Amino acid sequence: MTVPTLAGRRVLVVGASSGIGRAMAVGAVRAGAEVVMAARRKDLLDDAITEAAGGTAVEADVAKPEDCARLADEAGHHLGQIDLVAFAAGMAPLRRIEETSAADWAATMATNVVGLNLLTSALLPRLAHSAVVAALSSEAVDHARYGLVAYGASKAALDASLRHWRVEHPEIRFTCVAVGSTVGTDFSAGFDRGLLASAYEAWTRQGLTQKTYMNADDVAEVLLGLLATTLAFPGVSVEHVTLRSPAGAFDDADLVAQRPARAQTDSASTTGAK
């Protein structure tokens, strides 16, 4: 049997400026797909296009409804009917729950939930029959993490949104991808290092910190292979998949030994950056 590829497929990657999203966009171009790469940071999109030697950049912030509508128009203009949408945009403020502000809640929900829904609505006339919309979620949905309340709640809402999309639009296949801890993303770039150290200790006590993390490039390759195969078999829908490192979790003794180094590098990443 021929191994399915993305050659000739029409792909929109949202959140393509860094992390898993960027790796997916670059990988899709190299696999022979026509790719529109969307994100807020145009300079990083241009770098990704140079790296991939192909693709089209669209500067857009999915937290803005007008950008969702414009992105759908531009993606349709460049691609025609779209076979695959990979939604890797995401944000996560690191805050204690009582310190999470209204602005934190609004920005996180706007990017991680509302943006997905508004963009998908705008894309509907442009999606091919049996197209796949794959959105990156998080293990934080099922395992609450200290300091990530807005992020975890937004990903739970994203998961629920995809379930509703399946009910109302069975002609499109919606895949929720829960991603575990991954390095090579911008997830923790804006985190306060002191609070991150406290969060890391709490995550370790909860048994949530694994001894090794996945790499963003590896995660992207696995996802591209899975999604290419899904597209090749329109009678099969992959509704939920979880990617995590096979390594075991740290215990308290590991925490004492590893704290200084890990507090600086931990990303607890579950999405590519916007």
Token pair, residue 181, equals: 């801890």
Cβ within 8 Å of residue 128, ≥6 positions away: 10, 81, 82, 83
Phi, psi angles (nearest 5°) of residue 138: -150, 150
Which entry of 146, 151, 200, 213 is annotated as an active-site residue?
151
CA 218 to chain CA centroid, Å, is 14
Q: Cα separation of 160 and 141, whole Å?
A: 11
Residue with tokens 């963009």: 119
Mark whether 151 is an active-site residue. yes
CA separation for the pair 172, 116 (Å, rounded): 15
How many other β-carbons are positioned within 10 Å of the β-carbon of residue 260? 8
- Please, what's the largest Cα pairwise distance for the chain? 56
Distance CA 152, CA 163 (A): 17
Write out the catalytic residue numbers.
151
